[in-house]
């Protein structure tokens, strides 16, 4: 039995993504809700879901793809599946969608989770055709309707609420907790810890008529999301088979746990062991508005001064996939961006004739790992080298970096550190996360070390996640930082990351401004990129001209080294096969293996009990 009283062999137990929830009884999706407790994955249901193995959107509550009603792409028809019921037995109809929209607009100044909807949909434009059909308009041409009103990667900002539960509350919907929530998914909340450490979901008896009951029968009768605490205690609990799937455990802890329990597995048996298919990638962002980071030569010099193989080995034990373009290199983005731009990377030449790309990055990394004693059986070979460690990265060449810096008047002083063109000391303020993101923290420190060795006087400053966002958003506070927010290109839709590359005031403030910008966190200033983005707004998402424009932007960002993209985000999600098997793995990639993406549904449909009592 589990410690919440359910049979262990019927309970899938998952470590929560961000630990304890401070608001476990906040279950109203119109407001910020206890988001990591299974709502997105098990409770809510969306009009369209995303197949994270292919990057394709598919209907969930909807009966099919959205129908476009006009050439301007502003009028749409949504048909929903009949026969879907809320967990309290009431049928889900278009009236629920209408109530959700009405309420979102009526209380848009008081509700905190409706901003995307009310700024995307044209107010009052929705019309009920019948119980299962809704016509609706967007404020401007929208080619991404399915992924905005549905799911792009890990959930949706439009969550239908049950009209029959919410409407009688009147104005109180604004503060309504909605606990335990009436939901559309095949699971309903059975119990939750008021202290926020766990939440237990139970499969509905009528799961077949739930929001995604048509996909098949989920295999676990119960799903327990629980925070097992600090990594030390988590690792021990994992060894003791107390739970089945972890999130972001450090490579060291995984290795220790694996050595004590053979049922614990990583995503892949060979390096880099972990899933590298997150939508975002880590990179170094410059404040391109500030000298000397406004010079491409300086940005290139910093890129060529990073000994990325050493950084990857010291920060993440070599368990990483390098990505040179400004996005993650995944099985979905590779055919769209990386493969078509392979020649571009290999032939890229700086103004002085230097070719910075190193296509042998993976092979060289393997040599270093072999020298350190990594077993041959765990090292990829052949094509798998590229798939594992990426298509290549930039050369480590401090001599070329010195030459580039000299071209803009930056030279080394008597203390061995670079000085500004006026001879004053150049101190790099490099912001990295504190221990709330250990992989980025360790990567940041290793990069700072690499730079320091190359002659840059770096102050690596750890910040909490609150300050991190403020640095990201505030020109006056940013010089250099490790970040991921402008690299989340998951499929051919690059708009999700790059739509904010524009000269609009919201994205542009003076270099010393303390006013927060609302996007464009890599501070792109290139008017050609702005034009490509603006032109693309009237193109079909995923169409060849749209994708071609995305590649064009990727090339421009790379040529100017407008951000130093580092690596795919390594999502270290070990699983424990003691009670459940058939989790998504590299050799069995039926879904992204994240328990905090709504695609976790696919995992629940595919796992198998081992039968162990």
Partner 1 sequence: MIGVLQYVAKRVGLYLVVLFIGLTITFFLPRLMPTNPIDGYIGQIQARASGALTAEAIASLRENLEVLYGLKGDLFTQYVSYLERVVLRFDFGPSFSFYPQPVSQIIFGAVPYTLGLLLCSTTIAWILGNLVGLVAGYFHTKRAASVLEIVGILLYPIPYYILAVTVILMLSYVIPIFPLSPSFPVGEMTPQKFGMIIYNSLLPAITLILAGFGWNILSMKALAVSTTEEPYVTYARLKGTSNGTRMLRYVFRNAMLPQVTALALSLGTIFNGALLTEMLFSYPGVGLIMRTAASSGDYNVLYGAITISIIAVATAGLIIDLIYPLIDPRIRHK
User: CB of 103: closest distance to partner 1 in angstroms?
Assistant: 15
| Site residues (CB under 8 A) for partner 1, limited to 12-51 | 20, 22-23, 26, 31-32, 35
∠ Cα 543 544 546 (to 5°)? 65
Asked if 469 interacts with partner 1 (CB under 8 A), we say: yes
Nearest CA-CA partner of 407 in 285, 300, 479: 300
Asked if 458 interacts with partner 1 (CB under 8 A), we say: no
Asked if 226 interacts with partner 1 (CB under 8 A), we say: yes
The first and second tokens of residue 175, run together, are 């503060």
The helix (H) or strand (E) run that includes residue 57 is: strand 56-59
Within 10 A of 23 (CB to CB), how many other CB atoms are there? 15
DSSP strand pairing (127-130 vs 187-192): unpaired
Within 10 A of 594 (CB to CB), how many other CB atoms are there? 24
Contact 234, 576 (CB under 8 A): no
**C-beta closer to partner 1: residue 113 or 344:** 113
Q: Residue from 68, 90, 118, 427 that binds partner 1 (CB under 8 A)? A: 118
User: CB of 495: closest distance to partner 1 in angstroms?
Assistant: 8
Rg for the chain, CA atoms, rounded: 25
Q: What is the dihedral of CA 543, 521, 436, 448, to 10 degrees?
A: 110
Contact 45, 185 (CB under 8 A): yes
**C-beta closer to partner 1: residue 56 or 608:** 56
Asked if 232 interacts with partner 1 (CB under 8 A), we say: yes
User: CB of 350: closest distance to partner 1 in angstroms?
Assistant: 30
Q: Residue from 180, 519, 542, 609 that binds partner 1 (CB under 8 A)? A: 519
Alpha-carbon distance of 412 to 399, in angstroms, equals 12
User: CB of 130: closest distance to partner 1 in angstroms?
Assistant: 30
Decide: residue 87, CB within 10 A, 0-12 exposed, 13-18 middle, 19+ buried. Answer: buried
**C-beta closer to partner 1: residue 491 or 586:** 491
Asked if 465 interacts with partner 1 (CB under 8 A), we say: yes
Interacting span for partner 1 (CB under 8 A) from 144-152, 293-301, 367-375, 583-591: 144-152
User: CB of 180: closest distance to partner 1 in angstroms?
Assistant: 11
Contact 26, 239 (CB under 8 A): no
Alpha helices in 216-357 (DSSP H): 231-239, 251-260, 296-304, 308-316, 333, 342-347
**C-beta closer to partner 1: residue 174 or 511:** 174
DSSP state of 75: E
Q: Residue from 237, 336, 410, 440 that binds partner 1 (CB under 8 A)? A: 237
> What is the SS3 assignment for 180?
coil
Q: Residue from 112, 259, 349, 370 that binds partner 1 (CB under 8 A)? A: 112
> What is the SS3 assignment for 189?
strand
User: CB of 109: closest distance to partner 1 in angstroms?
Assistant: 5
| Site residues (CB under 8 A) for partner 1, limited to 187-216 | 191-198
User: CB of 408: closest distance to partner 1 in angstroms?
Assistant: 30
Cα→Cα distances 282→116, 153, 228, 495, Å? 25, 17, 27, 18
Asked if 242 interacts with partner 1 (CB under 8 A), we say: yes
Q: Residue from 9, 133, 261, 518 that binds partner 1 (CB under 8 A)? A: 518
| Site residues (CB under 8 A) for partner 1, limited to 472-501 | 472-474, 477, 485-486, 488, 490, 496-497, 499-500
Nearest CA-CA partner of 519 in 591, 469, 553, 587: 469
Asked if 229 interacts with partner 1 (CB under 8 A), we say: yes
Alpha-carbon distance of 316 to 324, in angstroms, equals 18
**C-beta closer to partner 1: residue 140 or 346:** 140
User: CB of 535: closest distance to partner 1 in angstroms?
Assistant: 18
The pair phi, psi for residue 23, each rounded to 5°, is -130, 60
| Site residues (CB under 8 A) for partner 1, limited to 409-448 | 436
Asked if 467 interacts with partner 1 (CB under 8 A), we say: yes
User: CB of 24: closest distance to partner 1 in angstroms?
Assistant: 10
Asked if 460 interacts with partner 1 (CB under 8 A), we say: no
Interacting span for partner 1 (CB under 8 A) from 84-92, 94-102, 320-328, 503-511: 503-511
Asked if 511 interacts with partner 1 (CB under 8 A), we say: no
Asked if 287 interacts with partner 1 (CB under 8 A), we say: no
Alpha-carbon distance of 247 to 431, in angstroms, equals 24
User: CB of 19: closest distance to partner 1 in angstroms?
Assistant: 9
Handedness of CA 471, 473, 474, 479 (dihedral sign): positive
| Site residues (CB under 8 A) for partner 1, limited to 247-286 | 279
User: CB of 55: closest distance to partner 1 in angstroms?
Assistant: 12
Alpha-carbon distance of 70 to 63, in angstroms, equals 20
Site string for partner 1, 335-364 (x = CB under 8 A): ------------------------------
The first and second tokens of residue 603, run together, are 């995992």
| Site residues (CB under 8 A) for partner 1, limited to 547-606 | none
Helices and strands per DSSP (H, E), number in the chain: 19, 23
């Amino acid at each position: 039995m589990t410690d919440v009283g359910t049979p262990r062999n019927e309970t899938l137990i998952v470590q929560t993504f961000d630990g304890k929830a401070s608001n476990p009884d906040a279950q109203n999706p119109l407001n910020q809700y206890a988001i990591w407790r299974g709502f997105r994955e098990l409770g809510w249901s969306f009009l369209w879901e995303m197949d994270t193995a292919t990057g394709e959107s598919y209907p969930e509550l909807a009966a099919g793809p959205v129908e476009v009603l006009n050439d301007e792409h502003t009028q749409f028809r949504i048909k929903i599946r009949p026969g879907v019921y809320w967990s309290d037995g009431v049928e889900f109809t278009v009236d629920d969608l209408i109530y959700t929209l009405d309420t979102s607009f009526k209380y848009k100044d008081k509700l905190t989770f409706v901003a995307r909807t009310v700024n995307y949909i044209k107010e009052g434009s929705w019309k009920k055709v019948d119980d299962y059909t809704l016509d609706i308009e967007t404020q401007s041409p929208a080619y991404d309707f399915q992924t905005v009103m549905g799911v792009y990667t890990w959930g949706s900002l439009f969550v239908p609420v049950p009209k029959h539960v919410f409407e009688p509350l009147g104005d109180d919907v604004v503060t309504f907790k909605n606990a335990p929530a009436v939901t559309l998914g095949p699971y309903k909340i059975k119990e939750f810890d008021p202290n926020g450490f766990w939440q237990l979901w139970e499969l509905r008896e009528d799961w077949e008529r739930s929001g995604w009951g048509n996909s098949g029968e989920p295999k676990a009768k119960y799903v327990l999301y629980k925070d097992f605490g600090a990594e030390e205690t988590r690792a021990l609990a994992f060894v003791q088979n107390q739970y089945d799937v972890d999130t972001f455990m450090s490579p060291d802890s995984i290795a220790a746990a694996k050595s004590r329990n053979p049922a614990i597995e990583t995503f892949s048996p060979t390096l880099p062991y972990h899933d590298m298919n997150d939508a975002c990638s880590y990179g170094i962002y410059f404040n391109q508005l500030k000298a000397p980071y406004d010079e491409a030569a300086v940005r290139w010099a910093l890129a060529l001064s990073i000994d990325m193989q050493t950084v990857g080995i010291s920060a993440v034990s070599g368990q990483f996939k390098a990505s040179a373009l400004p996005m993650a290199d995944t099985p979905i983005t590779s055919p769209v961006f990386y493969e078509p731009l392979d020649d571009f990377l290999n032939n890229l030449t700086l103004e002085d004739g230097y070719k910075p790309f190193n296509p042998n990055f993976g092979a060289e990394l393997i040599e270093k790992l072999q020298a350190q004693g990594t077993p041959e059986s765990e090292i990829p070979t052949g094509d798998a080298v590229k798939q594992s460690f990426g298509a290549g990265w930039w050369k480590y060449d401090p001599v070329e970096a010195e030459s580039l810096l000299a071209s803009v008047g930056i030279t080394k002083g008597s203390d061995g550190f670079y000085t500004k063109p006026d001879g004053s000391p150049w101190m790099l303020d490099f912001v990295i996360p504190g221990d709330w993101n250990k992989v980025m923290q360790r990567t940041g420190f290793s990069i700072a070390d690499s730079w320091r060795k190359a002659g840059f006087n770096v102050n690596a400053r750890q910040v909490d996640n609150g300050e991190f966002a403020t640095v990201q958003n505030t020109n006056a506070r940013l010089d250099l930082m490790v970040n991921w927010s402008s690299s989340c290109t998951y499929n051919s839709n690059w708009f999700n990351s790059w739509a904010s590359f524009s000269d609009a005031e919201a994205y542009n403030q003076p270099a010393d401004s303390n006013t927060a910008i609302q996007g464009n966190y890599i501070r792109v200033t290139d008017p050609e990129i702005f034009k490509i983005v603006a032109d693309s707004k009237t193109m079909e998402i995923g169409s060849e001209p749209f994708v071609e424009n995305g590649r064009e932007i990727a090339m421009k960002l790379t040529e100017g080294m407008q951000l130093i993209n580092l690596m795919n985000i390594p999502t270290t999600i070990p699983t424990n096969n003691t009670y459940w098997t058939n989790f998504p793995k590299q050799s069995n990639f039926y879904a992204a293996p994240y328990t905090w993406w709504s695609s976790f549904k696919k995992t629940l449909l595919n796992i198998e009990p081992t039968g162990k009592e």
